[in-house]
Amino acid sequence: MLKSDQQGPEMTMRRRAKLLAKSPDVNAAFASTGERGPVEMTLSEALVVALLKQGVTHYFAIFGHGSTDLGEVLRIYCEEGAVSVVNCRNEVEMAHAATAHAWQYGRTPAVVTSIGPGGLQAMAGSLAAASNGIGVYHIYGDETTRGEGYNMQQVPKPEQGIFGKITALMGQSHTLHTPESLRECMRRGTNCVHHPYRPGPFFIMLPINTQPQMASVNIDTLPARMALPAVAPADEAPYDAAARLIGLYDKVVIKAGGGTRAHGDAVRSLAEASGAAVVLSPGSTGVLPDAHPQNMHVGGSKGSISGNFAMENAELVIFMGSRGVCQADCSGIGYPNAKAVININGDIADVTHYANTLALPGDLSAVTDRLVARLSGEAREAVIDRWLPACAEKKREWRVWKEQRVTAKPIADDVWQCSVLTQPAAIHTVATFAKRIGAAKFFDAGDVQANGFQIVEDDAVGETFTETGASYMGFAGSALLGSAGVENPRYGIAFTGDGSFMMNPQILIDAVEHGVKGMIALFDNRRMAAITSLQYAQYGQEFRTNDSVAVDYVALAGAVSGVKALHGGTSRGELEAALEAAHAHDGLSLVHIPVYAGRDPIAEMGAYGSWNVGNWVDDVQARYLEQTI
């Protein structure tokens, strides 16, 4: 093994790390040393400094042979307090943790691993960030640039840069083939990760042999975090046209997509000025308080009575921050009576998605402020008196329907050989508890998620994080790790099914290792209930969506030192007691909740829209041709 005297370079690196730990202003910190001109450092250190300049101080890492040099830099910077590093056990888990960290706390983290199986897993996990519009840096130790033969874990093909090509398909990517390309890498990186309308993951390929290469770095020209002013159409004509369009129609609906999460005031002001009913996406609950009279709740193929009523009867649809996800607009047929569209979105492709659209590209709040100023409240009163009462009646109908299901008594279940809570009743019990203690709710994919976004009663953005973008099983538990290393973190509860939990149970160990305090609410029906329901709805038969293997999740979780595992019982009272005990634990807890799986209609929230899948395809596609938008 080749060795070298690292004392000199390490001391220099340590001095810089101490300096940067004291000052968030990277330029000022280096200027205070009195040194002029470029600074000499390795590419690995230069990358860490460049990321610091963009506010990246938090790393989720699994170090491998492809990241030893970067790992050494992070060790020194971590010891001096300039960065924090959370070591993980699974690459998918840490990708989810990083996504949740950025989503919940608004801080950009970085994921570190090597190419090969680890990189592929981290890339798979990045789907959650891409689908939900969350900016995260992914740094993968890559094969060397020398081509001296196959590098371990590279794609076994006589071609270089394969992983860079794969990551370029997954998002945006840059290979640091030479230290001199760092500046361009970071410029592209911040343009992606901090994009004002469509942020996402940015992949940095860091070849093994370029990491330790010395680089001359001009600190002043390293790109800072991108910050752009809000933009809106400069012309008056589009706003006037939009105001006239709103005045032409009685039944106006605002579809508030995931892009409205930071623009709740804009949604509310436009809704109240236009007399529009507001339909939410699963990822936008909380942009309008649950009890607001114009909040019709979630709409789509797994929506609500009130949300889908508003969609089906809308004459004019105002899309705000929506990317036209097929489940959210019932595979394109959710607005059968709509004659026109006003679309407010910063993304050109999204703002022009629908036919017969008046596009208002730009920042949602900036555009909405100018539009609202043109709407006459008096002119809309008559319209509001006809349209909103009809919506309110459907909202009352939905509340009664929901109340019947969330208060349903336990039902005898063949698997559990006793009466257990229904999924809606159990989810509502845990969600009510979360609201009372001020906990953040993280929802996994599947039946738990679908029932969850129909049930939650959020009054603000950030009460619920539901990974509907990629529907990634295992996200919720992994998301709890997003609070590792955070000062004064918010207590989190992961709502997960038995299948989703077993996709990524590493949180049991990593949460203890990093002192995460939170709870896993594990709803166990021994099946993929969402798919079972779809099979019954389409073909009247279930096929291979359950199993016969009993798992003692309390024993499994309890075997991990530091985890408090509890039985959730079979009644609402027993579950509430278990939740109290779990919350009192100073660390990670798990509550196992057996839930009913069967055909009783009281045991599910129901589906209210169409979806272009299975034997519904011909009908949905035929109806799509009849759409006006």
Q: What percent of the chain has pLDDT over 70?
A: 98
Dist. CA 89–CA 538, nearest whole Å = 40
Query: How much is the pLDDT for 5?
Result: 45
Left, alpha or beta for 30 (phi > 0: left; psi -120 to 50: alpha)? alpha
Dist. CA 416–CA 111, nearest whole Å = 41
The answer to whether 423 and 596 are in contact (CB under 8 A) is: yes
pLDDT in tens, 487-514: 999 999 999 999 999 999 999 999 999 9
The pLDDT of residue 102 is above 70:
yes
Tokens representing residue 252 in the block: 């106006």
pTM > 0.85: yes or no: yes
> In what side-by-side order are the strands of the sheet with 464-466?
464-466, 440-443, 492-497, 518-524, 588-594, 564-567
pLDDT in tens, 202-244: 999 999 999 999 999 999 999 999 999 999 999 999 999 999 9
Query: How much is the pLDDT for 484?
Result: 97
| Region 363-382 average pLDDT | 84
Q: Could you give all domains of the chain from N- to C-terminal order, each with its CATH number?
A: 12-221 (3.40.50.970), 237-398 (3.40.50.1220), 411-595 (3.40.50.970)
pLDDT in tens, 422-436: 999 999 999 999 999
Tokens representing residue 95 in the block: 């990708």
Neighbours of 247 (CB within 10 A): 16
Contacts of 37 (CB under 8 A, 6+ apart): 218
Query: How much is the pLDDT for 66?
Result: 93
Q: How many residues does the chain have?
A: 629
Tokens representing residue 193 in the block: 């990760």
pLDDT in tens, 547-562: 889 999 999 999 999 9
pLDDT in tens, 9-30: 899 999 999 999 999 899 999 9
Query: How much is the pLDDT for 7?
Result: 62
Dist. CA 179–CA 202, nearest whole Å = 18
Query: How much is the pLDDT for 4?
Result: 41
Query: How much is the pLDDT for 30?
Result: 92
Alpha helices per DSSP H over 253-376: 264-274, 305-313, 348-351, 364-372
Q: For 26-91, where are the E strands, in sequence order? A: 39-42, 58-61, 84-87
Of 553, 545, 544, nearest in space to 529 by CA:
545
Dist. CA 67–CA 566, nearest whole Å = 39
Tokens representing residue 411 in the block: 């039902």
Query: How much is the pLDDT for 2?
Result: 38
| Average pLDDT value over all residues in the chain | 94
pLDDT in tens, 280-323: 999 999 999 999 999 999 999 999 999 999 999 999 999 999 99
The pLDDT of residue 152 is above 90:
no
Burial readout 158-176 (b: 16 or more C-beta within 10 A, e: otherwise): eebbebbebbeebbbbbbb
pLDDT in tens, 57-87: 999 999 999 999 999 999 999 999 999 999 9
Confidence of residue 6 (pLDDT cuts 50, 70, 90): low
Higher pLDDT, residue 326 or 340: 340
